[in-house]
Structure formats: C-alpha cells, structure tokens
Amino acid sequence: MTDRPIAPSEVENPIINSPFVEPRFHWQIEKETLPVKVAGRSPASYFYRVPDSAARGRKRAVQLSLLGDTDIGQKEELALVNRIRGLLAPWRAAG
C-alpha cells in the first residue's frame, strides 16, 4: 500500500482475471470518470499518438487544437484480433 493519492483513472487492484482462462471482466476507463468494472473481455485496441518531436510548427498547432491539452492519442481497433476472439470462443466450446 502506498501513501500517495490514487488518480481518478487509476485502479487500486487492476488485475481482476486469471492468466489461464479467458477474461471475464475488464476495467472501463474513460476521461474524467472513475474506472468501472465491466463484465466481458475488453475489445482489442491501442492508442496511437504522433510523438512531439515529429510534429513541428503549423502541423503541431493543428494537432493540439484537434486533441485538446490532454493528448492520449487516437484509439485504433485491432479488428482482426477481435474477429479471431469471436471465432475462438465457439471453437473452444465445441471441444
């Protein structure tokens, strides 16, 4: 246990699933809200953000105006991974 306060987007006990079975729950974390434990597996995705060193001048100003001051990047879905997950569950159930 730490003495530092927990940020609104942090979870005190983030591990909620066994590494040996398909996840039953995930943490839904959204900007300016408290984390919520949700049933089901989270969709596969990642966040992409152009590094600060790559964006210069006018291009950087446009990015800042589009994304605001808290730039976490753009969420990109991993469609193939999500499709494979959808096909894998019935395959496992069939034995």
pLDDT at 10: 78
Domain shared by 19 and 3, yes or no: yes
Q: pTM for the whole thing?
A: 0.61
Domain shared by 24 and 2, yes or no: yes
What's the CA gap between 5 and 20, in Å, rounded? 32
Answer yes or no: are the C-beta atoms of 38 and 27 closer than 8 Å.
Answer: yes
Question: Where does a domain end: 25, 42, 59?
Answer: 42
pLDDT band at 54, cuts 50/70/90? low
Domain shared by 35 and 58, yes or no: no
Domain shared by 22 and 58, yes or no: no
**Residue 71: CA atoms inside 13 Å, Cβ hemisphere, count?**
15
Domain shared by 58 and 17, yes or no: no
What's the CA gap between 43 and 79, in Å, rounded? 9
Domain shared by 49 and 79, yes or no: yes
77/54: higher pLDDT: 77
Domain shared by 52 and 87, yes or no: yes
pLDDT digits (tens, 9 = 90+) for 67-95: 454 566 788 999 999 999 999 989 989 98
The three-state (H, E, C) secondary structure of 62-81, written as one string: HHHHHHCCCCCCEEEECHHH
Residue span of the structural domain in which 71 resides: 43-93
Side chain identity at 66, as an amino acid letter?
L
Answer yes or no: are the C-beta atoms of 16 and 25 closer than 8 Å.
Answer: yes
pLDDT digits (tens, 9 = 90+) for 3-48: 555 566 678 889 999 999 889 999 988 877 888 999 999 999 998 8
Domain shared by 31 and 60, yes or no: no
The number of domains in the chain is 2
pLDDT band at 61, cuts 50/70/90? low
